[in-house]
A and B are shown apart, each in its own frame.
Chain A
Amino acid sequence: MSHTLVTFKNVCKNFEKIPAVKDINFDIGKGEFLAIMGPSGCGKTTTLRMLAGLEIPSSGEIRFNNRLMNNVKPHERDTPLVWQSLALFPFLNVQENVEFGLKMRGLSPKIRNKKSLEWLEKLEVKELAKRDISTLSGGQKQRVALARSLVMEPEILLLDEPLSALDAHLVIRMQAVLTQLQKELDITFVYVTHSQSEAFAMADRVIIMNVGEVSQIGTPKDIYRSPTNRFVAEFVGRNNILSGKVYDIKSNIAYIKTNAGCFNFQLDKNKPIQKGDKINYIISADLMNFSTVKPKKSNIINCRLISEEYVGSIVTLFLESTDGTEFKIQITERELSKFNIQNGNKYWLSWSEKNVHVLIEE
């Protein structure tokens, strides 16, 4: 991270004594695309609203370019927000909406007109300039909302689940528009979402929040491949999580006993593990192998197929081992078509000891 733009230090926020955000700490770098992700009620929107000054922190410090922002009014900040509801002004037309912020800044009508058209053009909706907001489609409104915020030419843009109301194919397109804009303009984006695919597709770094606390901060790959706690492992993606106890360690391989059977994993030098440790044994669903015949490997389990779920070309299979543990595996549709699978039949799952991620239980 080059230069720090925003700092959250020990920030707490209570709503009538009920804590919404509990002691969060993190920095946002200049020009960074940061996603804040978590289930609903985790405090992600409250965090964003504090950044915009719409909520005042109960304690702690929020700094912007090292200036303390806690009591700066929303209109004295330069932190435009793209709202989940879009919040376009229904009584103004498209161009007037985009000009609103410039008008509040006291710019002359001539400059306002020029700048607003410039940004409408950048977002490819210039031809809608004189249209009524109510006549626009969801995707068009989205672009107008973005133009209205970006015309302020801020250092930071806040986005609160801006794509949640769009159709799936539009979401993909808008994601591309957003990432491209962010790179092109080189401004900081703080993007709040509950959608993992949105966060991972766009962000440089992701913050995972849970019940008002920061669970993990890292690059999408870090969070996906090496979750630091069980919540993140469960929340992010399709992980198979087994609990068990280490019963043996030989050279750099540890052996663990779980309800589903005995498995092993390769030790990581940075993570000291001893005999008798209770651990969470995590295998990502996409790192599992599927076969009809018993593979000659050490980490295998025989499971009954329960159901399958198709999302595009990727299939998720849900299976159950004899002791009742659920397993998930993701493979491509193309690969799966080689097997003639049927619900209720038994298949073999296997994985390499190198692909196991381990968390020591506290």
Chain B
Amino acid sequence: MTKEKYLNFILITYLIFIFVFIFTPIAFSVIFSFNSQRFPTIPLGNFSLEWYIKIFNDPGVWQAAINSVIVSLVTCILATFLGFCTAYSDYRYRFKFKGLYLALVLLPPTIPLIILALAMLAWLSKIGMSGQLWSIICAHSVLTAPFAMAIIRLRLNQIDPDLESAAWNLGGSEWATMRYVILPYCKPAIISSLCLTAAVSFDEFAISWFVSGLNKTVPVIILEIVQGNIDPQVNAIGTFVFFTSMTLVITAQIFFLTWQMKGKNK
């Protein structure tokens, strides 16, 4: 009993340290974004919204934010669509070389980002598609579709295999069954996947930097600001990016957990 308590204590302490280690820099970034002083030093200066006003008035930052939103929105829809199709074909059909097919589908996230980015740049410029918003969307969809597929596949694995047949049996064509049974059943997974792929795309730097050309996204513009000089604007942008991503990831997690729980209770 006491041994267990000690172990618990150690584990909890360890967990707290990890969280502190991860979140302290982010917390400081948030704090300094409201600090009036130019350099991040302690003691702090006054509370100020100066840096937020500055980025608010910077058309470059605005453009990057708009680009990022467009890219992540289109990417999450494309990636989730691709992921759903792959997951469904895996669930529904048996065919030769299925193992190979699945391995190929899950490959992109295992390739180092720099290499993927370079390859994307080379390929997209060959077909005359580099340096546009579309290029980033394409590349991000490739990168994030496997995540979408993994999430939706997990959900499809829980489905009662008779459910689809039951819908046909009641007069639903294959398309109607897809629309009224499979999609509603996968809804939590689809929402989860939309949020997660959007978050990944919104944060992604390496690929965006390589293929974006003049259409900079938020992570790219952060790098440009940091390269130029130390400017607390970065903290303000960082705070904004952090909260956007966290909201998306937490939403994804909530949907994911609720259905996992339901699956267990059944």
- Closest residue of A by beta carbon distance from B183: A91
Does B58 interact with chain A (Cβ within 8 Å)? no
Task: Tell whether, in the assembled complex, residue B163 and residue A87 are in contact, meaning their CB atoms are under 8 Å apart.
Answer: yes
B181 lies within 8 A of A89 (CB) = yes
Q: Which residue of B lies closest to A101 (CB)?
A: B170
Chain A min CB distance to B183 (Å): 10
Cβ of A105 within 8 Å of any chain B Cβ, yes or no, is yes
What is the bound-complex CA distance between A81 and B163, given in angstroms?
Answer: 12
User: Which residue of chain B is the closest to A84 with respect to CB atoms?
Assistant: B162
Q: What are the residues of chain A within 8 A of B160 when measuring CB–CB?
A: 85, 87
Residue interface mask B162-187, A partner, CB < 8 A = 1: 11011111111110110011001101
Instruction: Report the minimal beta-carbon distance from A312 to chain B, rounded to whole angstroms.
Output: 34
- From A71-79, A179-187, A302-310, the one touching the partner chain is A71-79
A83: B residues at CB distance < 8 A: 162, 166
Q: How far is the CA of A134 from the CA of B160 in the complex (A)?
A: 14
CB of A293 within 8 A of chain B? no
Report how far A134 CA is from B173 CA in the complex, Å: 26
CB proximity to B under 8 Å, residues A296-318 = none
B266 within 8 A of A: yes
Please tell me if the beta carbons of B170 and A148 are within 8 angstroms of each other in the complex. yes
Contact of A85 among B162, B185, B187 (CB under 8 A): B162
B173 with A91: CB separation less than 8 A: no
Q: Which of A54, A91, A134, A152 contacts B168 (CB 8 A)?
A: A54
Identify which of residues 176-228 in chain B touch chain A, using a CB-to-CB cut-off of 8 Å: 176-177, 180-181, 184-185, 187
- Taking CB atoms and an 8 Å cut-off, the chain A residues in 52-85 that contact chain B are 52-54, 73-75, 78-81, 83-85
Q: Quote the shortest CB–CB distance from A228 to chain B (angstroms).
A: 34
CB atoms of B187 and A91 under 8 A apart: yes
Q: How many chain B residues have a CB neighbour from A under 8 Å?
A: 23
The count of A-to-B residue pairs whose CB atoms sit within 8 angstroms is: 69
Least distance between A98 CB and chain B CB atoms (Å): 10
Q: Interface size on A (CB < 8 Å)?
A: 27
| Contact of A100 with B by CB under 8 A | yes
- Residues of B contacting A81 in the complex (Cβ-Cβ under 8 angstroms): 166, 169
Are the C-beta atoms of B165 and A74 separated by less than 8 Å?
yes
* Assembly CA distance A101 to B173 (angstroms): 11
A221: CB under 8 A from chain B? no
Known A85-B160, A87-B160, A100-B180: A54·B167 in contact at CB below 8 Å? no
Give chain B nearest CB distance to A321 CB in angstroms. 48
In the complex, are the beta carbons of B162 and A87 less than 8 A apart?
yes
- Considering only CB atoms, which chain A residue lies closest to B173 in the complex? A75
Task: Name the CB-closest residue of A to B188.
Answer: A91
Q: Flag whether A168 is at the interface (Cβ < 8 A).
A: no
Q: Which positions 103-152 of chain A face chain B at CB distance < 8 Å?
A: 103-105, 134, 148-149, 152
Asked if A104 contacts B170 (CB within 8 A), the reply is yes
Residues of B within 8 A of A52 (CB): 169
B165: chain A residues at CB < 8 Å are 54, 74, 87
Which single member of B167, B174, B185, B262 contacts A100 (CB below 8 Å)?
Answer: B167
Residues on B with beta carbons closer than 8 Å to the beta carbon of A104: 167, 170-173, 176, 180
**How far is A197 from B177 in the complex, measured between Cα atoms in Å?**
36
**Apart from A83-B162, A87-B166, A103-B180, 7 more pairs, CB < 8 Å:** A75-B171, A75-B174, A75-B176, A104-B171, A104-B173, A104-B176, A149-B170
